[in-house]
Amino acid sequence: MNSIVRGIRFKVTDGEFRGAMRQLAGGVSVITAGRGEEISGMTVTSVASLAVDPPSLVVSINRASSSWPLLERYRSFGVSILKADQLAVAERFDGRNGLKGAARFAGAQWIQLASGVPLLKGALAAIDCEAEDIVERHSHALVIGRVLDLELSEPAAALAYWQSQYVALDRDEDAQKLAEVSVPAPPAARKR
């Protein structure tokens, strides 16, 4: 749908924008919120680092999601950055298989760090955050998370999402493929 904001006509349709965003490969994480049996979570690709000092990140959360009221109430959330072999967890939390709330957490092990929010045991990184600031915009909220604590796993292939599909990012395999396709720079360029 085209829209007009402050006299500027935005000509990009929903479909065109979705098509553009599909080209953006994103690391897959699960955001978790709540305590005890009153928990929920969602698969996201919108986590990004905000700053190192203080350690903080940002994530975009749909305010119609079941995680949103829990995140707002407890003002804390978990970020579990998924390994490629944790695909089943991503699928449980992406809302497409009908599972809701605590039922999404079954079949995996969860730990708690400082805030008490569940974090996936064995995730590439499990990051415990306090919601430091929330900017509500359009259907979503940009949540700034101040990192309270984190746990890291040994390096492993990561789970990403690209062109509407989950894909594995494997450093060794990808380095091999890059080496196969990279063309050596011409001699003149190498001198500079």
Ligand X SMILES: Cc1cc2nc3c(=O)[nH]c(=O)nc-3n(C[C@H](O)[C@H](O)[C@H](O)COP(=O)(O)O)c2cc1C
Q: Give residues in contact with ligand X (CB under 6 A).
A: 28, 40, 42-46, 60-62, 65-67, 93-95, 161
**Does the bond joining 54 to the residue before it have cis omega, within 30 degrees of 0?**
yes
Alpha helices in 55-123, H assignment, sequence order: 67-74, 87-92
Q: Judged by CB, which is closer to ligand X: 61, or 119?
A: 61
> Minimal distance in Å, beta carbon 184 to ligand X?
37
List phi, psi (to 5°) of 154: -65, 150
> Minimal distance in Å, beta carbon 73 to ligand X?
15
Q: Judged by CB, which is closer to ligand X: 56, or 62?
A: 62
Q: Judged by CB, which is closer to ligand X: 60, or 153?
A: 60
Q: Judged by CB, which is closer to ligand X: 77, or 161?
A: 161
> Minimal distance in Å, beta carbon 47 to ligand X?
7
> Minimal distance in Å, beta carbon 119 to ligand X?
17
Alpha helices in 64-191, H assignment, sequence order: 67-74, 87-92, 171-181, 187-191
| Calpha distance 30→189 (Å, rounded) | 44
| Calpha distance 113→127 (Å, rounded) | 9
